[in-house]
Structure 1
Amino acid sequence: MSPNGWKASPNTRLAAYWPSVIFQDANNQIQEAYDANLTWARSAKGLKSRNGSALAEVPFSVNEGRFGGDKILYQRDDQKLILEGRTNLTNKLSVGAPPIAIPPNSAMGAFTVPRYSNSSDGAMNTYILWQNSSDALLMTWEDDDAGWRTSSTPTFLGRPDNGTGISCLTATLWTVASLPSDYSTARCYYLVDGQIREVQYDGSNWVVIGNVRLD
């Protein structure tokens, strides 16, 4: 991207789900860089976000995700978390919102899993892991028709370090891959006591995989 001379805000965070990368510009507007036929292109999303907003990007569905359809999560100035969805790289975003406000500069990560194993265009279970003002981890999720819910996470996941990032995995499905309907890749990463902790969700329960070794 460097040859294009694109500039991001010095306080921006990054979110990515191939072939897209989401970031903030100097005016806190959401910008997108994406791979278009082996060339990087840029698109302004017309979304105003909080300075230093947490960002996340996950696929819209199995089929749409192959063509750049995704959900973009960001924080507005009023601290509310906003979800914008689209079914391909070029169509307009439609707004949705989990009914939560997260603290300024809070860490946040997200992942999705297909709700039904036999449908490529069906609903996706969407999970958002975020840090509250006491640095504890909470999960906001939507995995049925009841809508969004929020709960605390088990204490054994640890208390993330203040200022940590949270990164979560969703398997790739660009062009030819298929997104599995199991939770084998539903993992998140964050700092606890300066160590990168890896945790996994199985659809009902969290487990700690351990700390990621860097040597």
Structure 2
Amino acid sequence: MDPRHYNEATTQPGLEVHLSPGLEVVPGEHTQYGHHFPETREGANYDGKEIAASTIVYPDPYGSPQPPLYELPASEQPARRRRLWLVGGAVAAILIIIGAVLGGVLGSRAAGSSSGESAVSQSGGGANPTSTPSDNGTGNTSPSNTTTTRPESIRQGSALSVTGWRRSDGGAEMHLFYQDPQDGLRYSRCDTSRSIEGSDSCWEAPISFHSFAKPDTRLGASTLIFGDLYQPQTQLFYIGGRTRLMGTNFNSQYTPPYSEDSINDVQVFTGLNSSVTAYWPWAIYQDSTGELLHVRNQLLRNWSPTTTWDVNRINITAITASRLAIVPMSANFSRMAVKGGYAIFYQAPDETLAVSITDLDSPELDPDYPLSWQTELPTITLPIAGPFSAFSVARPSDPLQRVDTYVLYLDAEANINVLYTDSSSVSANSPAEWETIQPEVLQGVDRDTDIACLTLASSDRSAAGNPVLLEPASDENRCYFQRAGQVVEVRLDGQEWVEVGSVPMP
């Protein structure tokens, strides 16, 4: 067994889910994706922590008689359905409808008799397209003659997550995920090698799909590439009802092109307002105590996916509802998918931006582990639960296959700043140093915006059987945020940030 792995699988088991105390497993049915589990069996130990698995079968695969790790607020407690309440509710509904009809009639007459009055549109909810000042959401309420129509496909302040990969023809394919005003999840797809007819944009119309997402869920997307079967497969993690960690797979080789992920069969409860971030084979979330945990696919020795998952605590405590951002720490998948392979950015209890590389002190860490950059960041105080995102790129011509990393974070003035590593200013064998800038195209964004940045997928084996290394900086290093409700796309062009435009959404 390779000691760098957490719990290495040596065969392809039906199921072997490793969980921290208090977590449960619900077996499901096997699907063509090989990610749904037909059976369960006990797991092993990790870092001295007891890991337990349950084989209890529940009739409803998305419900559980067991409570989450905290008490639900009164607003989320199950309602007692009594006949009297139903009758009262029906009567009230009838009265409301009658009132609405009368109000509409009287309102239309009043509008018709006053040609000098103008309609005042509502803003902030994002449910309907409205004309709003161009600086809406930035905190500046001064009047403006410029108006922007808010899209209906995305809610104001929606979570954002993006993932993508480089295709063999040289183009890149990206999926941008978000939540609509009705709590449904959607994605927009971009093929950078072509433009949509009648437009100079590569982004297709939004596509909705079935999910169990809770309102204002956080999102974490990643891409699995391995040979022909997973060439490629997009994974989306989100928070469902009762704060269950849920997921959906997307693979164009199958019909239908999406399927529920196997994480839906593993009863993992997150914190009430937990974020989730992902980069294959990892996903990270926060529990109700503020601790961070990672979910890792238990890859085989040849790095192929399995139907096995580990869930482990990583000895990090963040501020409640901290945003999270994961980045790979090597351009080579075989170094990234093991201990020390990723870094996690989070908001510390003192409200500052922090980062940790897991298992740097582990005796099982690769003795030749190359540290890309120092984990001591400049002191950056974020708004509580303030948004940030991060991405990594390969250092050019680096034989150690280290990375440079960029972090985009929102400050109290509704401007996005960039924290990045500058490896050009240090010697070849030294970790990079951190620098900060505030690009003009990242200023004046919506105060409730999320931020999503793209790290292209890496893999040990493409469809042609070759390693897929993380690329140096390119035009595909893009980030997304909301300004006046629109999703704005920016890209890194050398050392400059350039605004590409808005992702088209109805």
TM-score, shorter chain, exceeding 0.5:
yes
Partner letter of residue 59 of structure 1? P
User: Which residue of 77, 101, 105 corresponds with 2:349?
Assistant: 77
| Superposition deviation, residue 147 in structure 1 | 1.6
Q: 1:66 to 1:27 in 2, by over 3 A?
A: closer
Provide TM-score, normalisation by structure 1.
0.89
Pairwise CA distance, 1:77:
0.8
Counterpart of 2:381 (choices 92, 97, 101) is 101
Q: 1:96 is paired with a residue of what secondary structure?
A: coil
1:159, CA displacement in angstroms?
A: 2.0
* Per-residue deviation, 1:184: 2.7
Partner residue in 2 for 1:151: 437
Match of 1:29 in 2: 291
- Structure ranking higher in helix proportion: 2
Q: Distance in 2 between matches of 1:179 and 1:50?
A: 31
Question: What's the CA shift for 1:118?
Answer: 4.7
Tell me the alpha carbon deviations over residues 56-91 of structure 1, each in whole angstroms, 9 at most, x when there is no partner.
001101122254711111111101222112489x96
Q: Which moved more, 1:184-193 or 1:173-182?
A: 173-182
SS of structure 1 residue aligned to 2:433: coil
1:126 aligns with 2:405: yes
The one-letter code of the counterpart of 1:3 is D
Q: What residue in structure 1 maps to residue 420 of structure 2?
A: 141
Question: For 2:336, which of 65, 70, 74 is the aligned residue?
Answer: 65
Aligned partners of 2:289, 2:397: CA distance in 1, in Å?
Answer: 42
Residue 2 of structure 1 aligns to a residue whose secondary structure is helix
AA partner of residue 112 (structure 1)? S
Which digits, 9 at most, give the CA deviation of each residue in 1:184-205, with x for residues without a partner? 3211011111111111012310
Q: Indicate how the Cα distance of structure 1 residues 151 and 118 shifts in structure 2: closer, same or farther if over 3 A, else same.
A: closer
Aligned to 2:498: 207
Cα distance in 2 for partners of 1:129, 1:82 equals 13
The alignment's C-alpha RMSD in Å is 2.3
Provide the residue aligned with 2:471 in structure 1. 180
AA at the equivalent of 1:104: I
- Per-residue deviation at 1:41? 2.1
Kept in 1, the 8 Å contact 2:347–2:385? The answer is no
Give 2:483's aligned amino acid.
Answer: V
Q: CA deviation at 1:40?
A: 2.5
Equivalent residue, structure 2, for 1:43: 312
Alpha-carbon distance, 1:148 to partner: 1.1
Which segment is superposed worse, 164-173 or 32-41?
32-41
Partner of 1:115: 395
Distance 1:50 1:70, change over 3 A: same
Q: Work out the CA distance in 2 between the residues paired with 1:138 and 1:205.
A: 13
Per-residue CA deviation, residues 123-160 of structure 1 (Å, 9 max, x unaligned), is: 31111101001111111111223621112111x33422
Going from structure 1 to structure 2, the CA distance change for 1:86 and 1:30 (only over 3 Å counts) comes to: closer
Q: Distance in 2 between matches of 1:180 and 1:151?
A: 23
Asked if structure 1 preserves the Cα contact closer than 8 Å seen for 2:481 and 2:489, the reply is: yes
Normalising by structure 2, we get a TM-score of 0.39
Residues 198 and 211 in structure 1, CA contact (< 8 A), matched pair in contact too: yes
Q: Which has the larger radius of gyration?
A: 2
Q: Which protein is richer in strand relative to its size?
A: 1
